[in-house]
């Protein structure tokens, strides 16, 4: 599944819309047994850019697949790509702490991380238990 997900992320990267940064990223998530691809989608109002990882997660969740079993991300980076903080928090919402995260680049340098390594101490629903309104 690791190789398949990386292949899907590479395919997703081809669709990246990056007229501003020219930095194309692809992602693929395995969610409830189904693979969803995502690419980064930029905007003239730069801050509205959506990263490849979040595109893939939102596609899965909007199709009713909420349990992410693994994710692969690829970019043209020196070493394996490293997801931004926003994507780490969004991934944490739908991953377990031991969910596999495959980070890679165009040279095929790949690191196998887990969700908890990607975002130690993630804020989660459990952190809101004390607040009763
Ligand atoms: O892990 C990453 C890092 C960056 N980007 C995108 C956002 C923006 O379009 C471009 C430059 O930051 O790359 C991603 O999609 N995922
Ligand atoms: Zn991001």
CA distances from 22 to 1, 41, 76, 124 (A): 29, 11, 10, 33
Distance CA 72, CA 101 (A): 6
Residue 25 near ligand 1, beta carbon < 6 Å: yes
Strand partners, 101: 71, 113
| Widest pairwise Cα distance in the chain | 51
**Residue 22: nearest ligand to its CA?**
1
97 contacts 116 by C-beta, under 8 angstroms: yes
Per-residue pLDDT of the chain (133 residues), as tens digits, is 999 999 999 999 999 999 999 999 999 999 999 999 999 999 999 999 999 999 999 999 999 999 999 999 999 999 999 999 999 999 999 999 999 999 999 999 999 999 999 999 999 999 998 876 6
Residue 18 near ligand 1, beta carbon < 6 Å: yes
Q: ipTM for the complex?
A: 0.99
Residue nearest to atom 1 of ligand 1 (CA): 83
């Amino acid at each position: 599944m690791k190789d398949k997900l990386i292949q899907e992320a590479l395919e997703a990267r081809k669709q990246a819309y990056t007229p501003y940064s020219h930095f194309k990223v692809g992602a693929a998530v395995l969610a409830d047994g189904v693979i969803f691809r995502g690419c980064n989608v930029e905007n003239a109002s730069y801050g509205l850019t959506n990263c490849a990882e979040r595109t893939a997660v939102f596609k899965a969740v909007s199709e009713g697949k909420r349990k992410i079993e693994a994710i692969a991300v690829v970019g043209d980076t020196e070493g394996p790509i490293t997801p931004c903080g926003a994507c780490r928090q969004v991934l944490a919402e739908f991953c377990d702490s031991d969910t596999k995260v495959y980070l890679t680049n165009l040279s095929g340098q790949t690191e196998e991380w887990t969700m908890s390594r990607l975002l130690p101490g993630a804020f989660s629903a459990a952190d809101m238990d004390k607040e009763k309104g």
